Amino acid sequence: MASPTTPASQPARARPHRYVLGISGASGAHYALRLLEQLLLAHGGTSEVHLVVTDYGRRLLFDEAGVTHVDFANLCPTITSADAARRLIIHPNKDVGAFIASGSFLHDGMVVMPCSSSALGYLATGSGNNLLARAAMVTLKERRRLIVCHRETPLSLIDIRNMEQLTLAGAIVCPTNPGFYLKPTRVEDLVDFIVGKVLDLLDVPHELKNRWEDAGRA
């Protein structure tokens, strides 16, 4: 029997693969943009991505990636498919009544990337005062996969306990700590290492190099 936390493993699907991506205000815009690109290209370019960006997340995208508007053209400049634009659904973070905050909305996993310590705190306490928080709360209560990519360092005891609380609630805490055994030569290599790790956690096939066996062929 398929695990309730891995709906992507079910043999028959009445809907496309569907993912929720939340972007908060910690440094790491390029992680989020690369993940968004890979999710839209996944499964033969049929998957659907629901995106929610906090106010600080919008500032992050502008400061680190020059994204002036949170729309498909600015977020995914390397994807030319008009169909991909249709499969990216962007939700206002203040719209706590959006359907991604409902347990009846089925999806194959939610990722918060990057996740600030502030966002980590309100996710751990179940605060639902914005859409990112409510979507994450629903993901946990429905026993779906929630991956939290915390990006701040060093950690305070508050951060550590918030990570413990989220882990106990069923989330996967995946810090953005890249490995170096593939001998990266570009920043993009480090980004792909982490994005590949997250795609693995979502059971999304990909060709990014992040595996130990790739080291011998690097």
pLDDT (tens digit per residue) in 104-153: 999 999 999 999 999 999 999 998 899 999 999 999 999 999 999 999 99
- Helices marked H in the chain: 29-45, 55-65, 72-75, 82-87, 117-124, 131-141, 157-169, 187-201
Q: What pLDDT shows up at residue 212?
A: 83
Which residues are bridge partners to 98 per DSSP? none
Give residue-wise pLDDT tens across range 55-98: 999 999 999 999 999 999 999 999 998 899 999 999 999 999 99
User: Nearest-5° angle of CA 138, CA 64, CA 194?
Assistant: 55
Rounded Cα distance between 20 and 208, Å, is 20
pLDDT band at 6 (very low <50, low <70, confident <90, very high): very low
Report the 10 Å Cβ neighbour count for 164. Answer: 12
- Of the pLDDT bands very low, low, confident and very high (cuts 50, 70, 90), residue 211 is confident
pLDDT score of 217 more than 80: no
**CA distance between the termini of the chain:** 38
